[in-house]
Every structure is written in structure tokens, then in C-alpha cells.
Chains A and B, each alone.
Chain A
């Protein structure tokens, strides 16, 4: 079964940090381009970061650039998002999502992990 499972979400104070993880199974993770997409409460989808199948290049949305760091470990089928200097505007459900390559949509999604930034 094709699966992505996120973990690491929780409650954090403004200015704090969290590290999200995404464990992949059931498909060739090392061939997939991976992304993090978030959804604030009651809002739409916002793409925030991309990493190629090999680990480079990497891209970020302006809203998180300089604060968030995406990485992957193909040997262990895992994707990560290090989130620093968190603000209340980062409160959202965070999804990892992947696609097999250019020309494709995001065909694999995790169930999401909730990040709440509040004092």
C-alpha cells in the first residue's frame, strides 16, 4: 500500500521550533519529488517547499524562506521539515505530498500533522 505518514506536529510557542517527519512506504521514494503543503484552519492549500528526488534543487515559498528547511533521507524513505522562528501564521495542518516527476500532479499525500503556534 502506497503510504506517507507524517509526525512531529504539536503545540509550540511563537519563536519556537519543530521538526516534522514523513515516512514513505509502498512506492519508490527515491524516485519521487517531494513537497510540503499546508492548510491553515478553514483555509485553502498552500505549497511551502519542494525537494527533488536527489535532494537538489530545493525551493521554498516566500512565506517560509529563511525559517524552514526541507531535507530527505532516501536510504530510510523519509522526508523532513525543520521549522524555526515559528509565528502564529504558521498554524496549520502540514501535509507531505509527492509526485513521480515533471508533468504529474501530487499523487501521494500523507494524512497531515497539525502544528499550532500559540502562547
Chain B
């Protein structure tokens, strides 16, 4: 199983500042990686797939990068509505699809 590890567990960022979230895979996933945003009481929402392609309707302040085993989600200028838990997921070595443990982004 390809284990996905996210860091940090919690990130506190001021509005307008940059947030950088990391995701590491135990085996290469090439660029078969997605990022999701989940707000309390809501279903996850796809932000990024293919490591760097924004999903439909996702604001340009969200960007993804990386390949192989190291990936980054960057929120360039944090907005209050970006407070959420963010998950990475690999879909290269499956089954199973595996998710990271999540990073909680808090507004400072």
C-alpha cells in the first residue's frame, strides 16, 4: 500500500499570506495525485488533479506542484473561506486509493 503522509497537521496563516501544504508518498505516484478541500459538515471538494491541474471552478490562488513522491499545495493569498482540512490522494498504485491524514488550515 502506498502510504501518504501530510505535513504539517495544522497550519495557522494570516489572511492574505501564503499557505504551503506538503504531501509525501511512500512510493512514486508520478503525477497521479489529487488534492481535496473539506469544510466542516461538508463533502470533500476536488481542488487539484494530476498534481497541478486545477479542477473546474477552483480559484487561481490554489496551485499544486510536485512529482514522484513529493507534492505541494499552495494557497497564494489565504482567504477566510479557505479555512478547512485539505487531503491529498494518490491514484497511481491502486487498489487501494490512499488518502493522506489531512492538514487543517486555520486563519490566524
Interface residues of A (CB under 8 A from B): 35, 37, 44-47, 50, 59-62, 95, 97, 102-107, 109-112
Contacts and interface: CB of A to CB of B under 8 A. Distances in A.
Interface of B: 32, 34-36, 38, 42-46, 48-50, 55-56, 87, 89, 91, 94-102
A45 B97 CA distance: 11
13 contacts: A35-B97, A45-B102, A47-B97, A59-B94, A59-B95, A95-B44, A97-B44, A105-B34, A105-B46, A105-B49, A106-B44, A107-B49, A109-B43
A106 B46 contact: yes
A1 B2 CA distance: 34
Nearest to B49: A105
Contact of B44 (A45, A50, A60, A62): A45
A47 B102 contact: no
Nearest to A50: B95
Given A44-B101, A45-B38, A112-B43, 13 more contacts: A44-B102, A47-B95, A47-B96, A47-B98, A50-B94, A61-B96, A95-B43, A97-B43, A105-B55, A105-B91, A106-B34, A107-B46, A107-B49
